[in-house]
Amino acid sequence: MERFIENYQGKEFDLIVVGGGITGATVAYEAASRGLSVALIEKSDFGSATSAATSKMIHGGLRYLSTFEFGLVRESLKERRVLTNIAPNFIHPASFLVTVYKKDKTPNFMLKIGMLLYELFSFDKNWLWDKSKKMPHHKSVSAKQISDMFPNALTDGLTGGQMFYDCSSHSPERFTLAFIKSAVKYGASVANYTKVEDFIIDEGDKMKTVKGVKVIDELSGKKQNIKGKLVINCAGPWADILLDKVKENTGDQELRRSEGIHFITKKLIDKHVLLGSTALGKHFFLVPYRNHTLIGTTDKEFIGNPDDYKVTKKAIEELLDDVNNSFGKNEKIKYEDIVYTYGGLRPLVEDQTEDVYNSSRKYEITGEKKNGIEGLITVEGGKFTTSRMLAEKAIDKALKILQLPKKKSISENNYLYACNIGNCEEFIANKQKQYTEFIPEQIEYLAKSYGTEIDELFSIINENKNYTEPLNKDGENLAQVQFAIRKEMAVTLPDIMLRRTGMALLGHPGKETMQSVAKLAAKELNWDNKKLEEEISKMEEILQIPE
């Protein structure tokens, strides 16, 4: 992939997509795969904001049954199956255990009814291309069984629970990138670090018409006008701020923003995801993740500019207290046990609820004629799991606005880029036999991360024997750094260590690893010593636990 902005010569695109998170990525892929000429621009790095701040799940949303959002649950469960089909190396079945206590607002019999509904809405869950991913039905579990599986779970008032299956995402960051790569495969032009400063506007008597966007290349400082017949605003938590640029900066905040944070600790659980509830009835997850435990999430309204958002010690302590009050029979999780923390803002379109936790995760796709603007669509809300369907509907709308013939979507029935794997278990086993000089766990991790591109990665290792040394227990290595820069548009150290690889997603990787990665990046990207130190300092700041 190459940043098209560096060589842009004034081409007019059918569609300009603003925002390179999962929504923009799926929209760009959907549009390009239907034959539209597409430009996608992202002000930071692809998938660097909300799309990276997830619980690493692809799920139907069991809790939405309680708010009677049956349509959203059904769509999410259908899309869970679709994403498992088209990206088998990224999406995998996971067992979830819901605990029930006497104090809980939802008694066990109500949870059982919910489970039956969830099964009904996921009737097609095993209509999978990869039969190794078949998911069992839910089942009831006793209090004793829960204690055996989770010795640290509180037992006072524990009445039992339910075990069911949803899916986890191996790497939301690389999954988002797979959609970007798929868009590029179909001819899309993409660029990260390209910020929209304003819209190109044709002022009419009664209606403004958007003709493109005015951008600045954040790497070179060069300003450009990118021309397009239609612009789709996929800026997530920034969508209303971007819209204000064409609405004469009214400052009206149309979006609600919900903060969700997570932190990672040493391994606390084995193979099941534990779904618990707080004293206020809100849910949290303990998720097995790379021989550690991922804990999240919060759902608290954020007021202010999303550019100013950061995870605070107070937010971490609140989540820590909630978890310890519901999970910590033998040992409480301490603040110093946290090795890494991250957070992000969810864009919400519903403003009828007092608490954002109860706000819908539905999405909206709106043309802006109501605001006196043509040539612009805004996409707001949604959740990671339903992003592909959102994109399909957005491009249906775009084709209608552009007065182009209807063209059927192909995204539901085609593998994403480098994901054409018929049986994931067999694929991993074959790669383990092919690369016997590496440990099986390393091959499994890299096969899930790179899909069929794993052979290209190992060709780099074969050419550079000093890249064979694993940098962590998952077997990540310096070949991935070179691959990220040369093939995947990584231009900063955080791009490499947080999004193209997972080298820093378990906390600080160690000074030696940081230096090795940074020095290779400096060589590949022609950084001088000052730039090298700036990039290392940037990573150190990101990895700092709030104090």
Cα 403 from Cα 233, distance rounded (Å): 19
Beta-carbon-side half-sphere exposure of residue 500 (alpha carbons within 13 Å):
26
3-state secondary structure 257-284: EEEEEEEEEECCCCCCEEEEECCCCCEE
Tens of pLDDT, residue by residue over 352-403, are: 455 544 554 466 788 767 678 899 999 988 889 999 999 999 999 999 999 9
Cα 471 from Cα 491, distance rounded (Å): 20
**Alpha carbon distances (Å) from 199 to 13, 232, 251, 373:** 15, 12, 16, 11
Cα 512 from Cα 478, distance rounded (Å): 12
Beta bridge partners of 341: 263
* H/E segment holding residue 346: strand 340-348
- Residue 508 phi/psi, 5-degree rounding, is -60, 125
Cα 417 from Cα 184, distance rounded (Å): 9
Q: DSSP assignment, residue 497?
A: I
The larger pLDDT score, comparing residue 382 to residue 174, is at 174
Tens of pLDDT, residue by residue over 221-231, are: 999 999 999 99
Cα 109 from Cα 518, distance rounded (Å): 55
Tens of pLDDT, residue by residue over 470-523, are: 999 999 999 999 999 999 999 999 999 999 999 999 999 999 999 999 999 999
Cα 40 from Cα 25, distance rounded (Å): 8
pLDDT at res. 107: 81
Give the torsion sign (CA, 82, 506, 190, 25).
positive
Q: DSSP assignment, residue 498?
A: I
Beta bridge partners of 206: none
Average pLDDT over every residue of 80-85: 98
pLDDT at res. 433: 97
Residue 483's Cβ-count burial label (10 Å; 0-12, 13-18, 19+) is buried
**Domains, the chain, with CATH or none:** 4-50+173-253+361-413 (3.50.50.60), 78-169+256-358 (3.30.9.10), 424-543 (1.10.8.870)
Average pLDDT over every residue of 311-327: 93
Q: DSSP assignment, residue 366?
A: E
pLDDT at res. 251: 47
Give the torsion sign (CA, 220, 223, 227, 232).
positive
Give the global pTM.
0.95
pLDDT at res. 108: 85
Amino acid (1-letter code) at residue 160? G
Amino acid (1-letter code) at residue 159? T
Beta bridge partners of 169: 91
Residue 122's Cβ-count burial label (10 Å; 0-12, 13-18, 19+) is buried
